[in-house]
Amino acid sequence: MSLSYRQPGVVLTDRRFTVPLDHHNPGGETIELYAREVVAGAKADADLPWLLYLQGGPGFGANRFVGQQAWLGRALEEYRVLLLDQRGTGASTPASRQTLPLRGGPREQADYLTHFRADSIVRDCEAIRPQVTGGAPWTVLGQSFGGFCTVNYLSTAPGGLRAALITGGLPSLGAHADDVYRAAYPRIERKVAAHYARYPQDVERARRIAEYLLQHEPVLNGGYRLTVEAFQSLGILLGGSEGSHRLHFLLEDAFVRTVQGFALSDAFQEEVQGLLSYAAHPLYALVHEAIYGQDERPTAWAAERVRGEFPQFDAAKALTGDGQVLFTGESVHPWMFDTDPALRPLRETADLLAERTDWAPLYDVSRLAANEVPVAAAVYHDDMYVDTAHALETARTIRGLRTWVTDEFEHDGVRASGPRVLERLLALSRDEV
C-alpha cells in the first residue's frame, strides 16, 4: 500500500516495486526498488505527464528534497516526478558490507554486482513504467551517471521515452576505462591549479598536511586510515560548484596545538572522514570502473594504473622539493578497500570485478544514430568528472541531440542552478530556442 504525505508545496507518495535481479531470468530471484513520487500540492489530482529522475553515481540514492528545492520546482510546474533509488541504493534492496555476505563469498558477491550497471537500471525503469504511467512514455532527466543510463535507455528502449534530458552525463560510447582516466588526470590537474590560483595559501597548507600524514598516518575515530593518497582524493570536491571553497575552509583549520605538538584537529578529522567514507554509498566504489566495462578487456583498476603515467600526482616526490601536492578527483583505487572500514571486507570482491572480461556492450551506436526521441544535453566545459571531448563526440553520434555547452556551472549545475539548467534543457528538447 502506497503512503502519501505532505511537505511545503508538494505531495509525496512512497512507491515500492519488485523487479528481477537478472532481467534475462524474469522468473528468478527478485529485488525491491523504492521511489518517491512528487507532485505539486495544487496539482495533486491532475492528470500530468511523468518525469523520471536518474541520480548520478553510481551508487547514490535519489536526492531527498524538501519541498521544491533545486530543479524540482521547475519540473513540478508541468510534471509528476518519480525520484528513483536505483537498485542497490537508498531505500531499495541494499548492497553493502553488511548485506553482500548473504550472497556467499567474494565470487558470488561479484557475480551479483554485475547486475548493478546501467543496463539493469534501464530494464528496471521499463519494468516499473507501466505501473507508474499506465504504459505511457515518460521524460527522463539523467544527472551524471544517470545520463549514462539515459544513453543506454536511448540504445535499448527508446519507445519508453517521451524525451531525454541529460546533464553532465554523456558517456564515451567506446572508450575503455584506461582512456577515461587518461583523459581525466589532466583535467584534474587544471582544477587543482585553478584552486591554488584562487587560494594560494592552500599550497603550503596542503604540503604541511601531506608531510604530517606521511609521518603519522592517523586512524580516524571511525576507523578510517588517513593516508596521503586518501587526503589527495579530497580533490573530488573540486568538481562541484562550491567545492574549491569547501576544500579551502577544510584546509585552513587542519591543525591544533597539543601537549605533544601540532596534530590534526578532531574537527578536521571528523569532516574528512565524512567526506572520504563510502559507508553510505559502497556501490560507488565497487562498480565505479565496471560502468565503463564493455568488452573482453578487464578494467583492472584503471585509475590506479593510469595514475602512474602522471608522476606529478606523487605527493611524496613533490615534498622532496618545493612542488605542489596535487589533489585527485573522481576515481576509485584498490587502496580505498584497505583504508575504509566500510570497504575492507569487500576487497576481494572488488578485485574480482576488476578482473572480469565478460562485460556486455552498453550502447548501440547504430540505434543512437537513428534516434527519434527528442534529446537535449548540458555539457559543462572542462567538467572534472566527465570528459568534454568524449561527451561532444557522443553528442554528434546521437541523431537530433541538441547540446548546451557552458562554463557557467560545474558538474552539479542541475542542482546548483535552481531551475535554470532544467529550463534550458526543456526548451532545447522542444525546439523553443
Q: Which residues contact 226 (CB under 8 A, 6 or more apart)?
A: 213, 217, 218, 219, 220, 264, 269, 272, 276, 339
**How many Å apart are CA 429 and CA 433, to the nearest integer?**
9
Omega of the bond prior to 58 within 30 degrees of 0, cis?
yes
| Whether 368 contacts 132, CB under 8 Å | no
Question: Binning pLDDT at 50, 70 and 90, where does residue 139 land?
Answer: very high
Q: For residue 296, what pLDDT is reported?
A: 87
Stretch 235-246: mean pLDDT:
97
Q: How far is CA 424 from the centre of its chain?
A: 22
Choosing from 115, 281, 288, 411, which is the catalytic residue? 411
Q: For residue 3, what pLDDT is reported?
A: 86
Q: Which residues contact 304 (CB under 8 A, 6 or more apart)?
A: 331, 333, 334, 335
Looking at the DSSP bridge assignments, the partners of residue 211 are none
Query: Helix or strand or coil: residue 326?
Result: coil
Query: Helix or strand or coil: residue 236?
Result: helix
Question: Binning pLDDT at 50, 70 and 90, where does residue 388 land?
Answer: very high
Looking at the DSSP bridge assignments, the partners of residue 256 are 263
Tell me the CA distances in angstroms from 380 to 54, 90, 166, 383, 413, one per residue in order: 18, 27, 11, 5, 8
Looking at the DSSP bridge assignments, the partners of residue 19 are 31
Residue 421 has phi, psi (to 5 degrees) of -65, -45
Query: Considering Cα of 313, then 319, then 323, then 325, what sign does the dihedral take?
Result: positive
Domains of the chain in sequence order: 3-173+363-429 (3.40.50.1820), 177-355 (no CATH)
Choosing from 45, 47, 322, 358, which is the catalytic residue? 358
429 is catalytic: no
155 is catalytic: no
**How many Å apart are CA 409 and CA 239, to the nearest integer?**
10
Q: For residue 237, what pLDDT is reported?
A: 97
**How many Å apart are CA 324 and CA 285, to the nearest integer?**
27
Looking at the DSSP bridge assignments, the partners of residue 10 are 7, 40
Residue 140 has phi, psi (to 5 degrees) of -115, 130
Q: pLDDT by residue (tens digit) across 116-138?
A: 999 999 999 999 999 999 999 99
Stretch 174-179: mean pLDDT:
95
For the chain, what is the radius of gyration of the CA atoms? 22
Choosing from 144, 233, 244, 331, which is the catalytic residue? 144
What kind and span of H or E run contains 378?
strand 375-380
| Whether 116 contacts 383, CB under 8 Å | no
259-288 residues labelled b (16+ CB within 10 A) or e (exposed): eeeebbeeebbebbbeebbbbebbbbbbbb
Query: Looking at the predicted structure, is the pLDDT value of residue 111 above 70?
Result: yes
Maximum Cα interatomic distance, the chain, rounded to a whole number of Å: 70
**How many Å apart are CA 186 and CA 353, to the nearest integer?**
27
Query: Looking at the predicted structure, is the pLDDT value of residue 171 above 80?
Result: yes
Q: For residue 1, what pLDDT is reported?
A: 59
| Whether 125 contacts 139, CB under 8 Å | no
Q: For residue 135, what pLDDT is reported?
A: 97
Looking at the DSSP bridge assignments, the partners of residue 379 are 405
Residue 162 has phi, psi (to 5 degrees) of -85, -40
**How many Å apart are CA 27 and CA 18, to the nearest integer?**
12
Full-model pTM: 0.97
Q: For residue 223, what pLDDT is reported?
A: 94
**How many Å apart are CA 167 and CA 148, to the nearest integer?**
10
Question: Binning pLDDT at 50, 70 and 90, where does residue 311 land?
Answer: very high
Residue type at 67 in one-letter notation? G
411 is catalytic: yes
Name the DSSP letter for residue 384.
S
Q: If we measure between CA atoms, which residue out of 426, 364, 353 comes closest to residue 397?
A: 364
Please give the mean pLDDT across all residues of the chain.
97
Pairing mode of beta strands 255-258, 161-167: unpaired
Identify the residue whose cell numbers are 577544510: 250
**How many Å apart are CA 400 and CA 57, to the nearest integer?**
26
